[in-house]
Copies of this chain bind each other. A is one copy, B any other.
Amino acid sequence: MSCNFGNRIKLTIFGQSHSEAIGAVLDGIPAGIKLDLEKTSAFMARRAPGQSELSTPRKEADEVKILSGVVDGVTCGAPICAVIENTNTRSGDYDKLRFVPRPSHSDFAAFMKHNGFNDIRGGGNFSGRLTAPLCFAGSVCIQLLESKGIFIGAHIASLGKANDELFDPVRVCKADFDAVHAKKFPAISDRNAELMRKEIYDARSSADSVGGTVECAVIGLEAGVGEPMFDGMENKISSAIFAIPAIKGIEFGSGFAGSRLRGSENNDPFICENGEIKTLTNNHGGILGGISSGMPVIFRCAVKPTPSIGSSQRSVNLMTGDSEELIIGGRHDPCIVPRAVPCVEAAAAVAIADLIL
């Protein structure tokens, strides 16, 4: 099944890029939670396209309409359904793609999976647009988590060849998140932000695109959350994060770099600070044996460069087998990494909410 996530909450996402609407059903949120829908709008605006000269000119109001589950702004325990109409669709752009798949897009795989009956328009239900309802659900979960003292923040850790600073894995705090959230371009350092923006401009001016990495931290999660083996924190978070199109890798704590270290370098000694047991370092990324350790949960994920690029590419006509030079029209982002940042926070929030409820 494609559209379902969770054991204790159940998140169902539906819609295609050019269907009537897209949306989410979020079940399992306790009754009596006051939702701040302005916060939700602000959160979703961070993901929305069309905000700057750097992203796709497809402007979507992305106005969320809540159909159920909320009475007078308070959850009533029934599934929360929210829909977003697809208003600004230009389906004509995609007709020629039905039989000539765009390189590194889902087109070919979707065609094979659905015997050609897949909705090709705008990438159908494989579209990055489906992250809008994910962000809605994430925002609800974030508000739930915040009411329990759990906070989530992400930033661009690298973009093309430019790097940002990383969160301090031991001392990262809510103020760090607030600082990034206040920025139009979600990097920790403004100087790095400039270099990153330059990467995007350069890619765009070459009719190209560029990828990056996003770092995310979760603080305030108490020790002991998660299950061993298949429902550990890493399993759960990664299976939510890979729902975001374009994510191709994830690492927790010291991750791949840690695999090059010795145990004596990578191990995190325990200390007792003000009666609380912590670790001196946090190479384990807040997760031991799949279970939260009480330290900040830290992970980074790799976002591939947007596959839609302006220059001509080599493809094949699925009906004839003939080679075709493909030029993708339509509207596309030279870089989706900034917009992926709230998506990563949303996916993490959904995963954590599922683990703690």
A residues in contact (CB < 8 Å) with B: 1-5, 7-16, 19-23, 25, 27-28, 31-32, 65-69, 71, 74-81, 83, 101, 103-110, 112-115, 117-119, 121, 123-126, 130, 158, 160-161, 203, 206, 208-213, 222-232, 234-236, 238-240, 242-243, 245, 247-256, 258-272, 275, 277, 279-280, 283-285, 287-294, 302-309, 311, 313-316, 318, 321-323
State which of B12, B77, B267 has its C-beta within 8 Å of the C-beta of A10.
B12
Chain B residues, CB < 8 A from A304: 254, 258-259, 261, 266, 283-284
Q: How far is the CA of A280 from the CA of B323 in the complex (A)?
A: 12
How long is the Cα–Cα vector from A19 to B25 in the complex, in angstroms?
14
Which among A27, A256, A315 has the highest number of chain B CB atoms within 10 Å? A256
Are the CB atoms of A112 and B291 closer together than 8 Å?
yes
- Cβ–Cβ contact A238 & B242, under 8 A: yes
Min C-beta distance of A258 to chain B, whole Å = 5
Residue of B nearest to A252 (CB): B248
- Bound-state CA distance A246–B308 (Å) is 36
The complex is assembled from copies of this chain, and their number is 4
In the assembled complex, how far is the CB of residue A347 from the closest CB belonging to chain B, in whole angstroms?
A: 10
Task: Please state if B16 and A68 are interface contacts (CB–CB under 8 Å).
Answer: yes
Q: Which residues of B contact A161 (CB under 8 A)?
A: 260
Query: Nearest chain B CB to A274's CB is how many angstroms away?
Result: 10
- Given contact pairs A248-B234, A307-B267, A2 touches B27 in the complex (Cβ within 8 A): yes
Report which of B15, B108, B160, B253 forms a contact with A68, defined as CB distance below 8 A. Answer: B15
Q: Are the C-beta atoms of B2 and A263 separated by less than 8 Å?
A: no
Q: Which residues of B contact A81 (CB under 8 A)?
A: 14-15, 21, 23, 83
Q: Contacts A67-B83, A119-B71, A239-B239 given: A106-B291 contact, CB under 8 Å?
A: yes
Residues on B with C-beta less than 8 A from A232 are 2, 242-243
Q: How far is the CA of A266 from the CA of B304 in the complex (A)?
A: 8
A229 to B19 CA separation, bound complex (whole angstroms)? 17
**Least Cβ–Cβ distance between A16 and chain B, in angstroms:** 5
Tell me how far the C-beta of A273 lies from the nearest C-beta in chain B, rounded to whole angstroms: 10
Which of the residues B28, B252, B269, B289 comes within 8 Å of A110, measured between beta carbons? B289
